[in-house]
Structure 1
Amino acid sequence: MQDIFRVRFDWGPVGADAVAPGAAYVAVVDVLSFTTTLTVAVGQGISVLPYRWRDDSAVAVARRHGAMLAVLRSQAGPGQVTLSPESILRTDLEAAKIDRLVLPSPNGSAISVRLADAGCTVVGVCLRNAAAAAAWVWERAGDKPIAVVAAGERWPDGSLRPAVEDLWGAGAFLTRLAELDGTEGFSPEALAALAAYRGVADRIELELPESASGRELRANGFAGDVTVAGDIGASPVVPVLRDGWFVPGEPSLATESI
């Protein structure tokens, strides 16, 4: 019911369906870890195909496209990439000859595919690139609506578990939009996400590891992924979903006009 607002925010796949119609761009946020891994990968020159599930069909898709299929963190061997952003930073991509990656995720990836299938232009957003992505979208959207979707996680019964790190990532994106153009036209939901981020912006490096998802990753030996995800503003890369693949967005309009 946010269609009267120019800037909208909601959660998960159903929320995406609600806020995306008519939007010029939809920012999908899945901080731990899909959109962080995506941003790192695209920044390393890898095109990323989001995929809903890790199953035999994902293997077939990767083979058909001559792409590497990201494996589970616990199953990774030397030179293999996982949903862990740190695994990409540690991998010698040139030696491994990785330039295409199929990245399954039941949350951010599945939502991105769902939105693309509905004809939306999807942008991958995390804490590392939120400011750059917001500026990129703002330059292009004009007066058209912008939607932001926090992917969230899943409870054991499959229902949506709102994840605070995705709320913060969405809020970081919305904060930059507000700096560029004010908050007129923001829905109350978008304003709430913006306020949530502003409340922790100066201590993200302390709060992110203590989030439920952050504690889970640290307990399983992936504290490095939380550190990579919490590096605010580390990346200027804006992954945009084009013809099924996330690729770098074209340079800013200001740069193009020089």
Structure 2
Amino acid sequence: MSDMSDWYLQQEYGVRFEWGAGGAERVAGGVGCLVVVDVLSFSTSVNVAVEAGTRVHPYAWRDETASVFARDNAAELAVGRRAVTAASPWSLSPAALRRAPFTPRLVLPSPNGSAIAAAAGGSTVVAGCLRNASAVGRWLALHGHGTLERPSP
């Protein structure tokens, strides 16, 4: 049983809940998989891109380092919603991603979902949303996550 000083780690449970990048940092080392659910658009955008066959690289911020990261990973860089052009049609908007041409790799900066995924360090990260909730649940169960031996937040 946990000491009162680390009650927030929820170590006696197979499924743990946290909030934001700080929460991801707190639990990441002690879980088998981290599920990021960003209700604004990140996890839905990841789902749309992955359904199209794109590998998504989350990146915490859209700044000059994101461009370098995209170039180093031979990926396109998603731009701000209002910055979408014919040359850069990818953004954090699920609707824009559905209209955009296929790209094999996409760097998707987001101050919420991507920042949380980045805070997870080397943990396995899955993006969950309303569109893929049952698929995420099946994948977690198939891989044995959500148990005390392999907890998931």
Question: Which of residues 45, 48, 52 in structure 2 aligns to 1:40?
Answer: 48
Question: Which of residues 24, 35, 48 in structure 2 aligns to 1:16?
Answer: 24
TM-score, normalisation: structure 2:
0.85
1:88 CA displacement = 1.3
TM-score, normalisation: structure 1:
0.52
1:145 CA displacement = 3.8
Identify unmatched segments of 5+ residues in structure 1: 149-258
In structure 2, the partner of 1:233 is: none
Contact kept in structure 1, 2:42 and 2:92, CA below 8 Å: yes
CA distance in 2 between partners of 1:131 and 1:66 (Å): 31
Deviations 1:108-147 (A, max 9, x none): 10111121x2x31111111110111011101212632433
In structure 1, the partner of 2:132 is: 129
1:14 CA displacement = 1.7
CA distance in 2 between partners of 1:17 and 1:59 (Å): 25
1:22 CA displacement = 2.3
1:6 CA displacement = 1.4
In structure 1, the partner of 2:91 is: 82
Given the alignment of the two structures, is residue 100 of structure 1 paired with residue 123 of structure 2, yes or no?
no
Structure label with greater radius of gyration: 1
2:71 partner SS: helix
Deviations 1:83-107 (A, max 9, x none): 00111111232xxxx2111110111
1:156-235 alignment, distance < 5 Å: none
CA distance in 1 between partners of 2:11 and 2:29 (Å): 8
1:45 CA displacement = 0.8
1:36 CA displacement = 0.6
Aligned length: 142
Contact kept in structure 2, 1:29 and 1:108, CA below 8 Å: yes
CA distance in 2 between partners of 1:50 and 1:146 (Å): 22
Partner amino acid, structure 1, of 2:98: L
Which structure has the highest helix share of the two? 1
Partner amino acid, structure 1, of 2:130: L
In structure 2, the partner of 1:53 is: 61
Given the alignment of the two structures, is residue 139 of structure 1 paired with residue 151 of structure 2, yes or no?
no
Contact kept in structure 2, 1:33 and 1:85, CA below 8 Å: yes
CA RMSD of aligned residues (A): 1.5
1:82 partner SS: coil
CA distance in 2 between partners of 1:132 and 1:18 (Å): 26
Contact kept in structure 1, 2:43 and 2:129, CA below 8 Å: yes
Deviations 1:143-166 (A, max 9, x none): 324333xxxxxxxxxxxxxxxxxx
1:27 partner SS: strand
Identify unmatched segments of 5+ residues in structure 2: 1-6
Contact kept in structure 1, 2:13 and 2:151, CA below 8 Å: no
If asked which structure has higher relative contact order (CA below 8 Å, sep 6+), I would say 2
Moved over 6 A (4+): none
